Amino acid sequence: MAKNFYRFVLPACFVLALYLAGCSGSRDASQQRGEAIQTGEASWYGPGFHGRQTANGERYNQNQLTAAHRTLEFGTMVRVVNLDNGKSVVVRINDRGPYARGRIIDLSRAAAREIDMIQSGVANVRLERLSGRQTADVNRESFTVQIGSYSSRSEARREAGKLSNTRVVQARVNNRNVYRVYYGSFDSRNEAERALRRLQSRGHNGFVKQEQN
């Protein structure tokens, strides 16, 4: 009996021990410690952008854990910690934005749901970089071309749909909502002005403005 025990049970225990050691040594990305790079306000974008092209060429899918950031390279994995409730989610950067003052990241609907900010629309967050790098300083000056401002979100989206690399941003002016259509994001005013001239040659009007940090 003892002989059979050593022959069959001990090897099984050894295999189990190796398995458990492997599990403890390989942590999921959500458990990895990241480099804290930014603190600020997060927002989210969903149905109105679902299926549209993101800045890296993918189709935006509101049900995937992705996000837009101004400077992190595409493919960077970032943990977003909701400082209001302690919940966190790991997202992949595949788009550019956000472009409203004070916002540092724009989450997909699925990511926003993970940290319980669907109803509030915004949350105070900390960003922890798990991989990738920044393409520029997070506080750099950047410029864009505004090609329209509308009182109707649907009208703004219609206009934005005429060009690629556009986005619709809601703003509050004189106690009412307006919906601005922006084209591109540029590291210098000269680049933005060149883009504006190209747009004008195609029959679009607009003006260059500095993006708000």
0.75 surpassed by pTM: no
* Structural domain boundaries enclosing 106: 30-129
pLDDT at position 163 is 85
The answer to the question of residue 134 being in a domain is no
* Arithmetic mean of pLDDT, 31-48: 81
The band of 21, judged by pLDDT with boundaries at 50, 70 and 90, is: very low
122 and 41 Cβ atoms separated by less than 8 Å: yes
The answer to the question of residue 9 being in a domain is no
pLDDT at position 50 is 85
The answer to the question of residue 202 being in a domain is yes
94 or 35: which leads in pLDDT: 94
Residues comprising the chain, all counted: 213
Own/partner contacts of 75-79, CB < 8 Å, gap of 24 or more, are 75/131, 75/132, 76/129, 76/130, 76/131, 76/132, 76/133, 77/29, 77/129, 77/130, 77/131, 77/132, 78/34, 78/105, 78/127, 78/128, 78/129, 78/130, 79/30, 79/32, 79/34, 79/127, 79/128, 79/130
The answer to the question of residue 8 being in a domain is no
* Arithmetic mean of pLDDT, 138-164: 83
Distances (CA, A) of 17 to 13, 20, 57, 174: 6, 5, 45, 66
Question: Are residues 49 and 97 located together in one domain of the fold?
Answer: yes
pLDDT at position 27 is 38
* Arithmetic mean of pLDDT, 10-29: 42
The band of 176, judged by pLDDT with boundaries at 50, 70 and 90, is: confident
* Phi and psi, residue 6, nearest 5°: -65, -30
pLDDT at position 15 is 42
Question: Are residues 149 and 205 located together in one domain of the fold?
Answer: yes
95 or 24: which leads in pLDDT: 95
Question: Are residues 36 and 104 located together in one domain of the fold?
Answer: yes
Instruction: Answer yes or no: is pLDDT of 69 > 80.
Output: yes
